[in-house]
Structure 1
Amino acid sequence: MLEFINRIFGRDTHSSRTVAKERLRLVLVHDRAGVSPELLQALKSDLIRVISNYMEIDEHALEVSLDSNENQVALVANIPVKKMKRTVQTGTA
């Protein structure tokens, strides 16, 4: 409801301008870090595989990005956890 009111009064937090700025920021950070989109997708897939051994996560809402602050690059992962698993699932059979 609050999002609707913000849109009516011109405070749309997801405006095309905001989205474009965020996309440009991500492209610049990835470029400065020398990370290709394919590498970031592979990292995301590996994170899903490993974390899924310990907890049930919402894979569709998972967000992985790189953030730059002067000379440092940070990996930022937002991983919604549905529930913890009682036993550990290992990849070996």
Structure 2
Amino acid sequence: MIVEFFENLFRNDNLGSRNDVKRRLKLVLAHDRSTLNAAILEKMRQEILLVVSKYVELEDETSEFSVKTDSRMTALIANLPIKRIIKLEDSGLI
């Protein structure tokens, strides 16, 4: 219901910006519901991207992080679209 209110408030013919606003609002609401503050979540996001990027090349502009909370638990969800797998020989990890 709240999301629909904000969707109507920020209605735009450009679906891309509308979806961005919706995604950001969901992220803000998730942050408010979780016990982790925004600075900690941002630090976690940066560290996760750093580790994952050692093994795969990511599409950074479409990566998404969200926090889902229900009555039993809070989950950090990372949607990280992969461009390509990095060969272990090229990564410097071997």
TM-score of Structure 1 vs Structure 2, range by shorter chain: 0.5 to 0.7
Distance 1:68 1:53 in 2: 29
Partner of 1:50: 51
Specify the code of the residue in structure 1 equivalent to 2:82. V
Greater percentage in helix: 2
RMSD, aligned CA: 2.7
Q: CA deviation at 1:32?
A: 3.0
Gaps in structure 1 of 5+ consecutive residues: 1-11
Q: CA deviation at 1:15?
A: 4.9
Tell me: CA distance 1:69–1:89, structure 2 relative to 1, closer, same or farther (3 Å). farther
Q: TM-score, normalised by structure 1?
A: 0.65
Q: CA deviation at 1:47?
A: 0.9
Partner of 1:6: none
* DSSP 3-state at the match of 1:34: coil
Superposition misfits of 4+ residues, deviation over 6 angstroms: none
The structure having more radius of gyration, on CA atoms, is 1
Partner of 2:37: 36
Specify the code of the residue in structure 2 equivalent to 1:50. V
- How many pairs are equivalent? 77
Tell me: CA distance 1:55–1:19, structure 2 relative to 1, closer, same or farther (3 Å). same
* DSSP 3-state at the match of 1:71: coil
Identity %: 25
Partner of 2:27: 26
Partner of 1:68: 69
Q: TM-score, normalised by structure 2?
A: 0.64
